[in-house]
Structure 1
Amino acid sequence: MVQISKLFPLKHLFVYTLFMTLSVTTAQGSSAEDVLDLDLESLMQIQITSAGRKVQNLNEVPAAAYVIDQEAIRNSGATSIPEALRLVPGIQVARISSSKWAISSRGFNSTFANKLLVQIDGRSVYTPSFSGVYWDMQTVVLEDVERIEVIRGPGATLWGANAVNGIINIITKQASDTQGVLLSGAAGSHDRFMGTARYGNQLNEDTYGRFYLHRHDQASYQFGADQTDAEDNWHTASGGFRLDGDLGLDDSWTLQGDLIANENNQLVSPYTTPYPPYQSVVHDQFSSSGHNLLGRWQHHFSENNKLTTQLYYDYTNRDEIYMEQTHQTLDFDLSHHLQVGERHDLIWGLGYRNIQDEFDNTFQVSLTPDSRTIQLFSGFLQDEIELVRETFWLTIGSKLEHNDYTGFEVQPNIRALWKADQSQTFWASVARAVRTPSRVEEGGRIVTQVIPPAPPTIPFPVPVAIVGNPEFTSEELIAYELGYRYCAAKEFSLDLALFYNDYDHLQSYGSSRTMDLQFSNAIEGDAYGLELTAKWIPSLWLETELGYSFIQLAMTDEQNYQFAPDEVYEDSSPRHQVSARTHFIIGERLHLNLWLRYVDELKEASLSFNNEKEVDAYLNLDANIRWIVREGLELTLVGQNLIGGRRVEFVSESFTAPIEIGPSVYAKITWEY
């Protein structure tokens, strides 16, 4: 680990300390009409649904859970979902370019991180191409987010394959909570323009609706090597609606949909061709777009007996210079939550997913076949048993899936929770999860270089590629977790999670019949670590939160090829991460937020085509001031990356050179009426 003093000079420490001292002095002499909405005791009663597919209090969840609410998003100064996810201990977030991110949970970070399930209102947003997420397509209006639920660790028993190292569930507000008009606009040095217009109205006695339009333009960064323009500016526009209604006392329904269109820029390096000079740098102005429609219906048979059905359709298209891909997904999900007797809380469900894809192959990236339909069938059952009244619970369940790649997969778990007293909770779990193969791993071909002709031994150009493997199997995880939560009255809370993960059949590269490498399942190993969150609210005008995470991975690759993916797995996520946030209420209408983050170095950032793979540790400070001018009108001034100078956060493995993140500022106005 690098020394903190090198990253954070004493003059910066002095300014930061002085700034906090002056703020506290100001706050002590002011009244706090707009105090913090929740004390810590209330925070521990926050209800989440992602851990058990049912409503649970946060302090009763036998999993490593964290909730980002709307107030935390506003206080963070985040302009996107990835930026907001930096709040969560144990989540690795690194910016690759204006529009691209590397985001993972508990290690294995990369552009194509594939062990994290991400959902928006229950709609999975992973791409079957590589089992990961294109984050530039997830342009959710932050003002409409009710909360982001993050479960670190496996959740495959309830949510299925690819929920290996974590789940992110982005939950937007009901239409009844977004009535009236909201207009917001922002402009700054990097975020050149952000604008949102939203209108909500009650359509009849039992139905509410809203409609929104959103635009976000970002400027280019600079390359880390020579400070030239990275030409990665990004423009996104989206619109959508949501309707929520009731049918009597027992039935409720939701219908929502979104449209999105992106214009992205990137310099592709290297861009590989079958003719001289074989590799070059090419400016690529590409587009990505999509639309989705989701319907959900809930029926309450009784207070403890609820049936939920959901159906959605999702279309995405991405047209980059090295490949165009289109996906159409139809997904049906049914879950039934019911109380059986006095001690059994059951939830069971069935699911079906149909994915149709189509690829426009190029020399550099191609898939065989170029079009395919993939089906997934699933069912799950989980029982939470109250063994000791209001003291000890045991949860047992399993999911059974059938996919077109590996056939049947079984993903069980067992969890225990003990409430020692009103302020202390202990939990433990053992679970199995799998990450099923992607289209690229089964039938892809990625050309990494072309060997020029060298007569007479090499009479013609020879492309060298990584090729798919029809025998590629699922990656497997057995995860062991322990947790502890403590809440002392209304002032202090502590949340600690320990984990040990045993991995097998991880993605590697083996030999093929040609000079190519072939995807294989040759890596095994383990990871262990901890995640800690401590909150302290000493007064009505001051809230603080400290987050820390540690992870250590040890991998073994049976193939021992030059790409050394086992070393990348070990070193592509920061071993230590620290986050310290402070929220002051100054007077009646002024809110000051300071956010200090430390992220450890990456010794092997990725399987990069670029030479530079190491990423230095960095210390960062974000600060913002929110001025509530009057009810419904708010002005915000935000500074991001204020210390430490420019930095590289990640080295992409996907044909782009490392860019540097520098300081930026933006101002925002929000008006609701």
Structure 2
Amino acid sequence: MVPGIQVAQIDNGRYAVTARSHNGRFATKLQVLIDGRSIYHPLFAGVMWELDPIPLEDIERIEVIRGAGAVMWGANAVNGLINIISKPTRSQAGAALSVAGGTQGNGNLYARFGQVVNDSTSWRLSAQGRHIDNSQQHGYPGNARDRLDNMLVDFRLDHALGGGRDLSIWANATQSRTGDIWRTKPDWNQPGLHVSPYFPTQELNSQSLVGRYRWLSDAGIESSLLMSVINSGIDITDFIHESRNTYDMDYQGRLVLKQHDLIWGLNHRSSMDEISTNEPYIKVSGSSYNQKNTGIFLHDDWTLLPDTLKLGMGARADKSSRNGTNYSANATMLWTPTRTDSAWLKLAQAPRVSTRAERDISIVAQGSVTQQAGAAIPVITYASANSNFGPEMSRGVELGYRKQFSSNFNADINAYRYRLTKQRSGAQTGMFGCHAFLPAQNVAACNYFGVPTTFPGTLALFNLTHVVNEGAGWNNGIELSADWLVAPSWRLQLSYAWSTLKMDRNNDPIVNSDAEITEQAHPRHVASLRSQWNITSHQQFDLWLRGSSGYQQLRLIDTVPNTGTAPRFDRIGGYITLDLRYAYRWNKDLEFALIGRNLIASNRPESYSDYIPTTPTEIPRTWLVSTRWTF
């Protein structure tokens, strides 16, 4: 619903979510917080959305900040930030039960109990379980084996200590299980590239304990100290197993001093992992590693003219285990000439530090077939680890204007242009063949990958690459939003985003190929229109019309012989679809709802997984019935 935020469903549980480009299963340029605590995974600096780290019923609000926010929120808030804020326990006293079920085997059960112990103490305990049956494969018969089962238990305690001090404690445990189909199992007994399906199961778990202490000093300094301990695990059958312990500490202080509103902070994260992999498909350099990140920042909102002109300036330094020290900066001028007009200009620099996966993981990344002299020769791309891969950088400018046309209607427009440098790209490091008549035959390497080498060997080539900081380009966009209260009971919200990536060309053919892949894996137009209508005090009817233009993603496994050198793509078609919800509130404690999803253009793919060649799935039309009872 927010312009600039791109969301695409990959299958039942996996999503691609980003801000302003570079979307994918392992998107790395969007920082996501829950109550101020980052939930990105240190292995790849993205979010495991299928874990459901917080039930929807427990969410107070979701703050979305578009554009670079690295000064305030760390070196991975490159294109935007999402902060999910949970409800205070005092507002969740009593019990609640929510049950939903529908087509495609959808089922959801949520239960909560909370209590206000006294004027200073309250708590709540909630639990949720979710199930979705297998969806259908796209382009293949049969189901996609992406059945999803997950559950979570979440506890929160809020205690007011008096004197401007309070303490909050969170504890939760989550578990998720889903399947997949990877068409990656090669058959070397036939010429060309023939692959059969492999059916891995993905199991994720996480247990966390979080504490936050806030206080107000006699000098008027507002302070907040957040500390957390997280134990998590990833287990993908015959592929990778990871166990991890992560420790976070984050301090922030604020002081209003005449025209200056000062915010400063210090944070530290230590994340220790133990990883085992199934070679040769995936290999890790170093079975254990302790990744440490420390950051410090200062930000000042300086009122130059009261109620008219404000200048915000900030700087941050982040030191990472293998990325050295990286610097973020921003400056924002906000001009409000009238009560109904505001304009802003923002300059920002935001780095994105490299991850454990980029530095230490080697993986079979792609398979295709080249047609040469009448022979179909498989070409397998093996992306090896590069411990020297460093941080990416984004620098740019934003210009925006917001107008309150009346008490019932407002709109804003925002344009941005960012220069991307040191972006992730590939570089060729070598090539070898598995046949006596192919160049650079390497029997030992071919045997490692399970390719027969008995004379004269197997017609197969291996292309060796690793990630480098050679990519560069421009990220441009325009974002529009409007909010119209048509009547006291009817509200319309419109959002639209146009964006484009223009990557530089390079003398290295692989860098050039990666530039083309990056540009094409990007929808230029995304739009949303939401209608909220309170028919009566007991009835509500919501409609959500949304759409996206088409784009293309690299075909990771291509078994059709190719006489050229250009990569081939799979087309993700543009779409317009509709969601609706009709709710009837029997009384203040009991509500029934009918929900329809993807009612137009169903059975389409929205995204293909990047880096891991999973079978694409179709997004189905779904109907659900839900009941919510509070007591």
Paired position in structure 1 for 2:453: none
Paired position in structure 1 for 2:621: 663
Whether contact under 8 Å (2:71, 2:316) holds in the other structure is yes
Whether contact under 8 Å (1:272, 1:448) holds in the other structure is no
What's the CA shift for 1:393?
0.6
2:582 and 2:380 map into 1 onto residues whose CA distance is 55
TM-score (norm 2): 0.88
Q: Which letter does structure 2 place at the counterpart of 1:349?
A: G
Tell me which moved more, 113-122 or 480-489.
Answer: 480-489
Q: Which letter does structure 2 place at the counterpart of 1:502?
A: R
Paired position in structure 2 for 1:81: none
**How is 1:263-302 mapped onto 2 (pairs within 5 angstroms)?**
263-271=177-185, 279-301=195-217
For the structure 1 residues 479 and 304, does the alpha-carbon distance in structure 2 shift closer, same or farther, using more than 3 Å as the test? farther
1:633 and 1:362 map into 2 onto residues whose CA distance is 51
Is 1:245–2:159 an aligned residue pair? yes
Paired position in structure 2 for 1:54: none
1:462 and 1:269 map into 2 onto residues whose CA distance is 16
SS in 2 for 1:648: coil
Whether contact under 8 Å (2:470, 2:511) holds in the other structure is no
**How is 1:145-164 mapped onto 2 (pairs within 5 angstroms)?**
145-164=59-78
1:448 and 1:542 map into 2 onto residues whose CA distance is 50
Aligned equivalent of 1:555, options 492, 503, 506:
503
Paired position in structure 1 for 2:83: 169
Q: Which letter does structure 2 place at the counterpart of 1:292?
A: S
Q: Which letter does structure 2 place at the counterpart of 1:507?
A: R
Paired position in structure 1 for 2:322: 405
What's the CA shift for 1:194?
0.2
SS in 1 for 2:613: coil
For the structure 1 residues 449 and 477, does the alpha-carbon distance in structure 2 shift closer, same or farther, using more than 3 Å as the test? closer
Is 1:645–2:602 an aligned residue pair? yes
**How is 1:522-561 mapped onto 2 (pairs within 5 angstroms)?**
522-558=470-506, 559-561=508-510
SS in 1 for 2:358: helix
Deviations 1:134-185 (A, max 9, x none): 1112342111100111111110011111100110111110111111101000
**How is 1:178-189 mapped onto 2 (pairs within 5 angstroms)?**
178-189=92-103
Is 1:575–2:524 an aligned residue pair? yes
Q: Which letter does structure 1 place at the counterpart of 2:502?
A: A
Instruction: Please list every run of 5 or more consecutive structure 2 residues that lacks an aligned counterpart in the other structure.
Output: 370-377, 432-462, 559-567
1:570 and 1:463 map into 2 onto residues whose CA distance is 23
For the structure 1 residues 409 and 637, does the alpha-carbon distance in structure 2 shift closer, same or farther, using more than 3 Å as the test? same
Paired position in structure 2 for 1:24: none
Aligned equivalent of 1:194, options 108, 112, 126:
108
What's the CA shift for 1:479?
2.0
Aligned length: 577
What's the CA shift for 1:195?
0.4
Aligned equivalent of 1:629, options 578, 586, 604:
586
Q: Which letter does structure 2 place at the counterpart of 1:232?
A: D
Deviations 1:352-372 (A, max 9, x none): 110101111112112111210
What's the CA shift for 1:125?
1.1
Q: Which letter does structure 2 place at the counterpart of 1:477?
A: S
For the structure 1 residues 441 and 241, does the alpha-carbon distance in structure 2 shift closer, same or farther, using more than 3 Å as the test? same
Whether contact under 8 Å (2:425, 2:511) holds in the other structure is no
What's the CA shift for 1:655?
2.5
What's the CA shift for 1:464?
4.4
**How is 1:231-242 mapped onto 2 (pairs within 5 angstroms)?**
231-242=145-156
SS in 2 for 1:642: coil
2:505 and 2:123 map into 1 onto residues whose CA distance is 53
SS in 2 for 1:222: coil
Paired position in structure 1 for 2:120: 206
**How is 1:88-103 mapped onto 2 (pairs within 5 angstroms)?**
88-103=2-17
Whether contact under 8 Å (1:343, 1:385) holds in the other structure is yes
SS in 2 for 1:516: strand
Q: Which letter does structure 2 place at the counterpart of 1:585?
A: N
Whether contact under 8 Å (2:180, 2:615) holds in the other structure is no
**How is 1:26-45 mapped onto 2 (pairs within 5 angstroms)?**
none
Q: Which letter does structure 1 place at the counterpart of 2:355?
A: S
Paired position in structure 1 for 2:135: 221
SS in 1 for 2:572: coil
For the structure 1 residues 551 and 513, does the alpha-carbon distance in structure 2 shift closer, same or farther, using more than 3 Å as the test? same
SS in 2 for 1:440: helix
Whether contact under 8 Å (2:311, 2:331) holds in the other structure is yes
Is 1:596–2:513 an aligned residue pair? no
Deviations 1:247-269 (A, max 9, x none): 11321111001101112111122
TM-score (norm 1): 0.83
Is 1:425–2:425 an aligned residue pair? no
Paired position in structure 2 for 1:457: none
2:580 and 2:494 map into 1 onto residues whose CA distance is 16
1:638 and 1:664 map into 2 onto residues whose CA distance is 8
2:544 and 2:394 map into 1 onto residues whose CA distance is 34
Q: Which letter does structure 1 place at the counterpart of 2:604?
A: R
Q: Which letter does structure 1 place at the counterpart of 2:259?
A: R
Whether contact under 8 Å (1:369, 1:443) holds in the other structure is yes
Is 1:376–2:333 an aligned residue pair? no
1:223 and 1:541 map into 2 onto residues whose CA distance is 42
What's the CA shift for 1:473?
1.4
Whether contact under 8 Å (1:479, 1:501) holds in the other structure is yes
What's the CA shift for 1:273?
9.3
1:423 and 1:301 map into 2 onto residues whose CA distance is 36
1:663 and 1:242 map into 2 onto residues whose CA distance is 36
Taking only the aligned residue pairs, the percentage that are identical comes to 29
Q: Which letter does structure 1 place at the counterpart of 2:264?
A: W
SS in 1 for 2:519: helix
Is 1:110–2:67 an aligned residue pair? no
Paired position in structure 1 for 2:310: 393
Is 1:260–2:217 an aligned residue pair? no
1:205 and 1:478 map into 2 onto residues whose CA distance is 49
1:494 and 1:191 map into 2 onto residues whose CA distance is 40
What's the CA shift for 1:662?
1.7
1:564 and 1:219 map into 2 onto residues whose CA distance is 38
For the structure 1 residues 274 and 124, does the alpha-carbon distance in structure 2 shift closer, same or farther, using more than 3 Å as the test? farther
2:593 and 2:40 map into 1 onto residues whose CA distance is 33
SS in 2 for 1:564: helix
Q: Per residue, is there more strand in 1 or in 2?
A: 2
Paired position in structure 1 for 2:439: none
1:192 and 1:581 map into 2 onto residues whose CA distance is 24
SS in 2 for 1:573: coil
Whether contact under 8 Å (2:109, 2:130) holds in the other structure is yes
